[in-house]
Structures are given as structure tokens and as C-alpha cells.
A = this chain, B = another copy of it.
């Protein structure tokens, strides 16, 4: 399912360096960082980068591809806790108990940079800028999850889906993609799990948006026709 590629990899000439861990580092510091990425690892679509319960030793930075993370309850219910794309860091859930708390599954063929957490910590002690950045990444994840809690506890189906689409668009835009078009890498069921609704409701809500001329849905291809209206749905809810 997975293959290790051991040719030399370097943050300093990675095209994601403005999004990923090296953000804000000087050229010298980035050279130091190059040693942090031990190897790269490919994960095929459907493959697990790690599974819940696996021993935690490394963080991963996504180079290419798209992932979902999900936790599974004792009685087998699955909850998608996030979708991750290029430049984002995975594995933070494992630090607290030295084993992973969720599954990380590739939604398309992917490649990640393997960053042994010991190296990250060692380097963090030498490069204050890196230390700060690691803290920011963890804090960002906490804040993101706060937002998801708000969404799950307070919003209605249409608001949730609007919030979801806007979030994806914004992150894709930061990576150079269009603001008015996207391809969903996940199924309706996975979207529903993340948003706390059933796949039928996701599908119905897409159809509703489509009827209202807000988006155009062709399977996994979404075209945004009325970005403003989407924003209005997202935060005007109770009018």
C-alpha cells in the first residue's frame, strides 16, 4: 500500500515552504530544517497513513494529495474530524499519549514528508522561530475545532454546508486554485460525517443550493455561481 522513497528531500526548495512548517524561517534556518524531514512516504488512495492506536513517533506534512482524519467510537460510529490538504501537518493527535487517536486516510494518491517528532522537538529548541511555529500550528488546530463545535452545535444543514464549502474554497485558493470551482475528494457520506448530518441531507442541500442558483453540482465537481449568497447563508442564518 505504501512505498518509501529515500532520495534527498529539502524544505528549502519545496514549493510549499510558504504554507508548511518552514514559514517565516530565514534561509539558514531552513537549511537546518532540511535535516528534519527523514524521508517521504507515498500513500495510495484509501490507504492509511496511520491508524488509531498506532504508536506515535512522527508528524507528517502533506506534499501532495488529500486526507481525512476520523475517530471511531467504541460502538463503531465513525466521525470525520477533518480534511487535510497540501502543506498541512498531520499527527498532532498522537503527541499526548504517544499513540494515535485517529485514522488518517488518503482520499487520493498522496505523498507526505515524514518528520520524526524528536527531530522537530530538538530543532525547536535551537530555532525559536520554529518553536513558535509548531505552537501556532497546534493552536490553529484548537481554534479550528472550536469553529467546528460552533457549527455542529448551532447551525442548520444549509449553514453547515455553506461553511464547509467556503472553508474548502479559501484553503484551495491559498494554494493557487480557483475561488469558483472545486473538486470534492470526499463522498457525501464523509462530508455528512464531518458536518453531523446524513448523506441524504448533504445531497438534498446540494440540490437546494443548485436550484437556488448558488452552485452548480456535477457529481464531485462544484462550481460556485454566487459566492456572496453562500456567505450570507453561512452567517446570517437567523434573520
Contacts and interface: CB of A to CB of B under 8 A. Distances in A.
Interface of A: 71, 73-75, 77, 79, 81, 92-97, 101-102, 121, 124-126, 128, 131-132, 134-143, 145-150, 152-154, 193-196, 235-238
In this complex, the member of A102, A134, A196 whose beta carbon has the largest number of chain B beta carbons within 10 angstroms is: A196
A139 B97 CA distance: 9
Contact of A96 (B128, B143, B154, B236): B143
Given A125-B125, A128-B125, A77 B150 contact: yes
16 contacts: A71-B147, A71-B149, A74-B235, A79-B149, A79-B153, A81-B146, A96-B139, A97-B143, A121-B131, A124-B125, A125-B131, A138-B138, A142-B145, A145-B148, A152-B152, A154-B196
Contacts of A154: 73, 77, 79, 196
In this complex, the member of A93, A146, A193 whose beta carbon has the largest number of chain B beta carbons within 10 angstroms is: A146
B128 A236 contact: no
**Identical chains in the assembly:** 2
Contacts of A94: 139
B152 A149 contact: yes
In this complex, the member of A126, A149, A236 whose beta carbon has the largest number of chain B beta carbons within 10 angstroms is: A149
A187 B22 CA distance: 45
Contacts of A96: 136-137, 139-140, 142-143
A109 to B, nearest CB: 26
Contacts of A102: 146
A153 to B, nearest CB: 3
Given A75-B237, A124-B131, A128-B125, A142 B138 contact: yes
Contact of A139 (B81, B93, B121, B145): B93
A136 to B, nearest CB: 5
